[in-house]
Structure 1
Amino acid sequence: MSPSSMTAVADRSSVRPAPVPTTARRGRILAFTAIACAALNLRLVVTSLSPLLATVSAEFGFNATVVGVFGTLPLVAFAVFGLVTPVIMRRIGPEATVVLSMALTAAGQALRAFAPGTGTLLLLTAVALTGAALGNVVLPPLIKQYFPDRLAALSTVQMVAIHLGALFPPLVAVPLAEAFGWRTALGAWAVVAVAAGLLWAVRWASPDARRTGRAARADQGPELARPLYRVGMAWRTALLFGLVTWNVFTLFTWLPALLTDAGHTSAYSGSMVSLMVGVSLLFGLVAPTVTARAADTFPIVALGVAGYAAGYLGLALGPAWLAPLWACFLGLGTSLFVVVMTMINTRATTARGSASLSGFVQGVGSGVALGGPLLFGLFAELTGGWTLSYALVAGGSLAGALVVARLERTPWTIEAAAAGHRPARRGRRAAGGRRPGARAA
């Protein structure tokens, strides 16, 4: 063998990654399983109730406005705890936060099966949603902490798990209620949160997790140059998230009622919610990669908005027997949630930036989305039909999403935005990625 060949072999061997210790591999496998199991719970609290609201309202005697309140509760929880969760994480650590998240989710889901009336059901649903809201914010930083070398793959796993948690409850809720009663159909899902909580408790208690947590907290990156409420990029991303979430939760709350009102059975209506989520899952499998690589995210958002528009128009004006087609169009629109979450994950370069942006966007964005389910039901209650709801709630939010996406179309990072930089125009690059004389973002 020639000296140059020996040098090449030595060079290749020198850059070969060191084998991962068995203990670390086991810890990553446990963390992977725990992340996926926790993500299953993040929408399950919502979609396990919405197909049963007609049955529950018949027993408790509440109207469409109260149904809208149930649809708004997730957004209240996500808005409040989107802003509070980063503070909790700094006080007790991310592993303890996710254990708390799953404990609240399990307790709320189990206990609301015994609710004696509307007020108690609302309160216990709020407890479960508080847990889900904590989980929404804490999972992205945990992925960055445990899998910094597999961010795209683990983000996809998280999104698939979230979609599966939204897909299965509407599919089986009504059959379960018919067989065992709505209380059993509602409370049984607490088992999923208990399993996730136990997995995270085991991971939290391990010495390896404590070492990983200390190292991650020591390497979170510097403080952002400015608070996010002074960063235009953060507000635009939050507004886009809010307008997308507005439609997602309006549909979770009202699609079963819309289809039942059109003459379909409750079981069929619940299956259409599952179909919508399933189509969203299919698009969501490719959305993270496409979004992360896109030089311009506006066409992606425009495609999702077109799906929403086609689905809403079909529900409002089209034949009821084409409900599966309208659900597929709405699924295309709902996949925008994955697109925006990917934008959040890829627009931060540090764990601190990821946690800060995730909390701000989900907190402010969920506050923007609060009006969706409530106004949709309120307009229906006032007019006795769905036309005004479609026109004002769906149409207005979709138009707003297009406007915001147009403003926030170029990928860049929250760290750069907080420092006052702006991305260079395509085809014109300034030193440091900033155009000469550009304003702070």
Structure 2
Amino acid sequence: MRPSSVVAVTDRPSVGPQARGRTLALLAIVCAALNLRLVVTALSPLLTTIGAEFGFTATVVGVFGTLPLVAFAVFGLITPAVMRRLGPEATAALSMLLAGAGQVMRSFAPDTGTLLALTGVALVGAALGNVVVPPLIKQYFPDRLAALSTVQMVAIHLGALFPPLVAIPLAEVAGWRVALGTWSVLALVAALLWTVQWRRSGGAPRAVVPSGGPALARPIWRVGMAWRMALLFGMVTWNVFTLFTWLPALLDDAGHSPALAGSLVSLMVGASLMFGLVAPVVTLRAANTFPIVALGLAGYGVGYLGVAVAPGYAVLWVLFLGLGTSLFVVVMTMINARSSTPQGAAALSGFVQGAGSGIALGGPLLFGLFNELTGGWTLSYAVIAGGSLAVALVVAYVERTPGRSRLRPSVRARSRRPLSRASTRERCGR
């Protein structure tokens, strides 16, 4: 495969680590990351309660589970263009504003269609945030990628962990609308922080790829590594959102109470957080990423099998599922590990998350559809879970050596760099 990337731009102030603005940027990144899964996990434990009031079926629950992937697919591909137009900080502020507004408004939804539409608004914000946060980390903290990837991972998991834990108890006390709308505060705070950061940066659009700067040597969609990363991300996301959508229902069908089912979803996220704490460092240092991914896929396999055949030990099985869910952290870290510049991270992040989310669309919807068609979960487990894990295992084996797959500056761009005396002597000697 011929390597392709953008050139590292040395005259861009944010490429090098700087103290000014980094504290606020860190707070803004953390607040934004808290919202990237919260939009989904704040709703999923309440779908049974809301469905009883609005009267929708399991297929509609599958649509709610698929909706995040539609938003991530479409806006994952669009976000790099938005970033070039508005700049990364303004894009982050816009993403959090949409996420917060959508969450507030959907808590007042009078019917299923309105709830779907307003959830879509919130998910557009989360989709923009998914793509813009990795290049912002690359931009503000190029010297702390492992640490900031870990910070991002912890924030994403905390944002996913707490809503399922408190959703049912809060809904029993104050109603599902309060339980759903309360979380909008975090997104609105993140929007405020990114607005301040944008103003500090000058208030003008500053694209990740500066105007007049070099672009990709060839389109990102023509890079084989980008497609393999997108397929791996797609399979991981396929299972993450299938579990976010259906794990409460699977546990409820097994005889667990709705409150316990929501708590076990939180336990899965918490386990993913624990496993994911070391994932960025291990992934960035690994000469071969296959064992890391294979371990996570094995966790998925054991967890699915356990919930299917011995649901009474659900606490144990969700720990294994948490190990599998931590693969999301691994793949997100691989985006930065396989790019050399903020520009490359933006291009790869947008393509991998956009195309990968498109690939993952079928997971939650088909999992529920097969249940309706067969009256049980066996086909859903075998085809939707098992098939996706098999595909991920093959792709992980092919995409196992990060060094050979890394996006590098184009040959033309490298030729413009001044040569050192040693390099000149070496070339003359040849």
TM-score norm. by structure 1 comes to 0.86
Deviation at 1:416, TM superposition (A): 3.8
Given the alignment, which residue of 404, 414, 435 partners 2:395? 404
1:10-89 equivalences in 2 (<5 Å)? 25=19, 27-89=21-83
Distance in 1 (alpha carbons) for counterparts of 2:409 and 2:359: 22
Distance in 1 (alpha carbons) for counterparts of 2:227 and 2:410: 12
Between stretches 297-306 and 51-60, larger displacement belongs to 297-306
**One-letter code aligned to 2:292:** I
The answer on whether the counterparts of 1:231 and 1:418 sit within 8 Å (CA) in structure 2 is: no
Tell me, what secondary structure is at the counterpart of 2:400?
coil
Given the alignment, which residue of 318, 330, 333 partners 2:321? 330
Given the alignment, which residue of 84, 90, 95 partners 2:89? 95
The answer on whether the counterparts of 1:221 and 1:351 sit within 8 Å (CA) in structure 2 is: no
| 1:75/1:418 CA distance change after superposition, 3 Å | farther
Deviation at 1:347, TM superposition (A): 0.5
| 1:216/1:397 CA distance change after superposition, 3 Å | closer
Distance in 2 (alpha carbons) for counterparts of 1:289 and 1:213: 33
Runs of 5+ consecutive residues of structure 1 not aligned to the other structure: 1-23, 421-441
| Matched residue, 1:226 | 218
| 1:180/1:352 CA distance change after superposition, 3 Å | same
Given the alignment, which residue of 102, 105, 113 partners 2:107? 113
Given the alignment, which residue of 274, 288, 308 partners 2:280? 288
**One-letter code aligned to 1:147:** F
1:205-244 equivalences in 2 (<5 Å)? 205-206=199-200, 209-210=201-202, 218=210, 222-244=214-236
Distance in 1 (alpha carbons) for counterparts of 2:287 and 2:339: 16
Between stretches 169-178 and 215-224, larger displacement belongs to 215-224
| Matched residue, 1:278 | 270
| Matched residue, 1:180 | 174
What is the root-mean-square deviation in Å for CA atoms of aligned residues? 1.9
| 1:214/1:58 CA distance change after superposition, 3 Å | closer
Distance in 1 (alpha carbons) for counterparts of 2:24 and 2:121: 27
Deviation at 1:222, TM superposition (A): 3.2
The answer on whether the counterparts of 2:87 and 2:208 sit within 8 Å (CA) in structure 1 is: no
Structure of greater Rg: 1
Q: Does 1:302 align with 2:276?
A: no
| Matched residue, 2:343 | 352
Distance in 2 (alpha carbons) for counterparts of 1:220 and 1:240: 33
Q: With CA pairs under 8 Å and 6+ residues apart, which has the higher RCO, 1 or 2?
A: 2
Moved over 6 A (4+): 417-420
Tell me, what secondary structure is at the counterpart of 1:115?
coil
Q: C-alpha offsets along residues 5-25 of structure 1, whole Å, 9 cap, x if unaligned?
A: xxxxxxxxxxxxxxxxxxx64
| 1:90/1:275 CA distance change after superposition, 3 Å | same
Q: C-alpha offsets along residues 370-402 of structure 1, whole Å, 9 cap, x if unaligned?
A: 000000000001111111100100000000000
Distance in 2 (alpha carbons) for counterparts of 1:39 and 1:416: 27
Distance in 2 (alpha carbons) for counterparts of 1:374 and 1:123: 17
Tell me, what secondary structure is at the counterpart of 1:194?
helix
**One-letter code aligned to 2:302:** A
Distance in 1 (alpha carbons) for counterparts of 2:19 and 2:84: 26
Q: Does 1:192 align with 2:183?
A: no
Q: C-alpha offsets along residues 279-312 of structure 1, whole Å, 9 cap, x if unaligned?
A: 1101111011111111111111111111000000
Q: C-alpha offsets along residues 222-256 of structure 1, whole Å, 9 cap, x if unaligned?
A: 32211111111110010000000000000000000
**One-letter code aligned to 1:133:** A
Tell me, what secondary structure is at the counterpart of 1:42?
coil
Runs of 5+ consecutive residues of structure 2 not aligned to the other structure: 1-17, 413-430
1:82-161 equivalences in 2 (<5 Å)? 82-161=76-155
**One-letter code aligned to 2:293:** V
| 1:370/1:214 CA distance change after superposition, 3 Å | closer
Q: C-alpha offsets along residues 53-104 of structure 1, whole Å, 9 cap, x if unaligned?
A: 0000000000000000000000000000110000000001111101110110
TM-score norm. by structure 2 comes to 0.89
The answer on whether the counterparts of 2:80 and 2:346 sit within 8 Å (CA) in structure 1 is: yes
Distance in 1 (alpha carbons) for counterparts of 2:359 and 2:63: 15
| Matched residue, 2:381 | 390
Deviation at 1:221, TM superposition (A): 6.7
How many corresponding residue pairs? Answer: 394
Distance in 1 (alpha carbons) for counterparts of 2:144 and 2:204: 16
| Matched residue, 2:308 | 316
1:153-172 equivalences in 2 (<5 Å)? 153-172=147-166
The answer on whether the counterparts of 1:304 and 1:332 sit within 8 Å (CA) in structure 2 is: yes
What percent identity do the matched residue pairs reach?
74
| 1:215/1:40 CA distance change after superposition, 3 Å | closer
Distance in 1 (alpha carbons) for counterparts of 2:89 and 2:95: 10
Tell me, what secondary structure is at the counterpart of 1:78?
helix
Between stretches 144-153 and 39-48, larger displacement belongs to 144-153
